[in-house]
């Protein structure tokens, strides 16, 4: 099969198309014929060597969708021809955390597609069935591939962690990416007012189309005061922090008393200087949000199939162009999601 293989951490040029053996599914696994795989900034961080659980050679990609073409031994509930999309990470479904609904914190099985597990930058991939969701028959492959990591993350962040309520104001950093655009739409579905932060004028139209009430273009990432101005000095009730360390201090400045900051991304893997006094006097809540659960993926697929959320697939590109896709993503040339499409096998 053809696959994009990373043999050395570093630049986008290290992603090279190769011919490798087709993997075989084991117990509790299926073989997927990959029809589409989204390109996430997590993949960029992974390619650079910043995720310690990934070892080269590696096949990246945790946003895969495809058709079951082989079922491993003692694997129940799935058959050849079923349509599936991957979760970002696994969970055992049996530990105390999983049984309490906190599957994204499972330590018994926390393997991640594109890290310990082969990812979707390939014509075929083996996937444990615990890490799959069922794709409706009328959902295009490119859309299905991106739902878990974009809308699924937004569901986990806004509904599960932040518990956003109608009438609240939500600020979203990095809003023009796949997760950001999904979060803008979901917040609007849930009755919130949305202030979107982006670094360039070229991305404003997509954010307005997604439903953002206000868009702040902040090339220097100094948006805190402007966000407060647009809330008549009150600040925002909820912040979805997708960028991470580069914007965290400005996000705190934008918060209303009693506000909730949900940190879901850290694009440059940096650290922050936190002023405890600000957190104390405002009684802020700082929450983390990690990975989509299977229930949240199912909910996200339903929302998409019903047309309540519009997926922003900006372009479908050939699998062989994975390196170029990474380059464009790193250079902020993409609004929404790029999706890799493997050649027909």
Measured distance CA(200)–CA(219) in Å, rounded: 6
Question: Are 260 and 323 members of one domain?
Answer: no
- What local confidence, expressed as pLDDT, does residue 159 receive? 98
Average pLDDT of the chain, as a whole number: 95
Question: Are 103 and 190 members of one domain?
Answer: no
| CB-neighbour burial class of residue 107 (10 A; exposed 0-12, middle 13-18, buried 19+) | exposed
Question: Are 163 and 250 members of one domain?
Answer: yes
- What local confidence, expressed as pLDDT, does residue 302 receive? 93
- In the three-class reduction of DSSP (H, G, I as helix; E, B as strand; rest coil), residue 85 is classed as strand
| Domains identified in the chain, total number | 2
Measured distance CA(264)–CA(262) in Å, rounded: 6
- What local confidence, expressed as pLDDT, does residue 272 receive? 85
The model's confidence at residue 54, banded by pLDDT at 50, 70 and 90, is: very high
Q: For the residues 6-19, what does the mean pLDDT come to?
A: 98
Question: Are 163 and 232 members of one domain?
Answer: yes
Measured distance CA(241)–CA(151) in Å, rounded: 15
State the CATH number of the domain containing residue 243: 3.90.180.10
Question: Are 67 and 191 members of one domain?
Answer: no
Cα dist from 330 to 179, 299, 324, whole Å: 16, 30, 10
- In the three-class reduction of DSSP (H, G, I as helix; E, B as strand; rest coil), residue 208 is classed as helix
Question: Are 124 and 160 members of one domain?
Answer: no
- What local confidence, expressed as pLDDT, does residue 271 receive? 84
Residue 86: pLDDT over 80: yes
Tokens found for residue 33: 């014929």
Question: Are 64 and 165 members of one domain?
Answer: no
Residue 332: pLDDT over 90: no
Nearest C-alpha neighbor of 180 from the set 262, 271, 237 = 262
Residue 274: pLDDT over 80: yes
pTM of the shown model: 0.92
Of 262, 288, 314, at which residue does a domain stop?
288
Q: For the residues 46-53, what does the mean pLDDT come to?
A: 95
Q: Which domain holds residue 70?
A: 2-148+292-341
Question: Are 126 and 216 members of one domain?
Answer: no
Question: Are 138 and 164 members of one domain?
Answer: no
* Range with the poorest average pLDDT among 4-8, 16-20, 99-103, 186-190: 99-103
The model's confidence at residue 299, banded by pLDDT at 50, 70 and 90, is: very high
Residue 295: pLDDT over 80: yes
Residue 345: pLDDT over 80: no
Of 245, 267, 288, at which residue does a domain stop?
288
- Report the share of the chain in percent with pLDDT over 90: 91
- Asked if 73 and 27 touch (Cβ cutoff 8 Å), the reply is yes
- What local confidence, expressed as pLDDT, does residue 199 receive? 87
Residue 2: pLDDT over 90: yes
Question: Are 171 and 278 members of one domain?
Answer: yes
Question: Are 125 and 236 members of one domain?
Answer: no
Nearest C-alpha neighbor of 226 from the set 261, 195, 257, 199 = 195
Measured distance CA(251)–CA(261) in Å, rounded: 8
- What local confidence, expressed as pLDDT, does residue 21 receive? 98
Cα dist from 49 to 117, 166, 185, 279, 324, whole Å: 16, 41, 32, 33, 18
Question: Are 90 and 164 members of one domain?
Answer: no
- What local confidence, expressed as pLDDT, does residue 335 receive? 85
Of 269, 288, 307, at which residue does a domain stop?
288
How do residues 175-229 score in pLDDT, each as one tens digit? 999 999 999 999 999 999 999 999 889 999 999 999 999 999 988 778 999 999 9
Give, to the nearest 10 degrees, the angle between helix 322-330 and helix 41-48.
Answer: 100
């Amino acid at each position: 099969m053809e696959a994009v293989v990373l043999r050395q951490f570093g630049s986008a040029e290290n992603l090279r198309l190769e011919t490798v053996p087709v993997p075989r599914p084991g117990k509790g696994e299926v073989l997927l014929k990959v029809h589409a795989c989204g390109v996430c900034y997590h993949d960029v961080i992974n390619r650079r060597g910043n995720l310690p659980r990934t070892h080269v050679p590696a096949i990246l990609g945790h946003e895969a969708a495809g058709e079951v073409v082989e079922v491993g031994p003692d694997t129940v509930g799935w058959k050849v021809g079923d349509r599936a999309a991957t979760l970002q990470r696994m969970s055992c479904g049996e530990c105390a955390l999983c049984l309490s609904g906190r599957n994204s914190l499972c330590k018994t099985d926390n393997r991640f597609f594109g890290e310990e597990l082969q990812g979707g930058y390939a014509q075929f991939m083996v996937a444990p069935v615990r890490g799959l969701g069922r794709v409706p028959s009328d959902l295009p492959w490119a859309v299905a591939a991106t739902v878990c990591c974009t809308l699924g993350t937004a569901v986990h962040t806004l509904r599960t962690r932040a518990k956003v309520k109608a009438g609240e104001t939500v600020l979203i950093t990095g809003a023009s990416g796949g997760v950001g655009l999904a979060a803008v739409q979901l917040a609007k579905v849930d009755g919130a007012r949305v202030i979107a932060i982006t670094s360039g004028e070229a991305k404003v139209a997509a954010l307005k189309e997604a439903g953002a009430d206000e868009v702040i273009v902040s090339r220097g990432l100094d948006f805190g005061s402007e966000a407060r101005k647009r809330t008549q000095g009150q600040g925002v009730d909820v912040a979805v922090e997708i960028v991470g360390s580069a914007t965290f201090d400005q996000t705190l400045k934008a918060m209303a008393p009693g506000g909730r900051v949900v940190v879901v991304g850290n694009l440059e893997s940096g650290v922050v200087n936190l002023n405890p006094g600000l957190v104390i006097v405002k009684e802020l809540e700082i929450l983390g949000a990690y990975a989509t659960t299977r229930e949240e993926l199912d909910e996200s697929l339903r929302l998409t199939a019903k047309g309540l959320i519009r997926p922003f697939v900006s372009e479908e590109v050939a699998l062989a162009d994975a390196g170029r896709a990474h380059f464009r993503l790193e250079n902020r040339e993409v609004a929404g999601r790029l999706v890799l499409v493997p050649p027909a096998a």
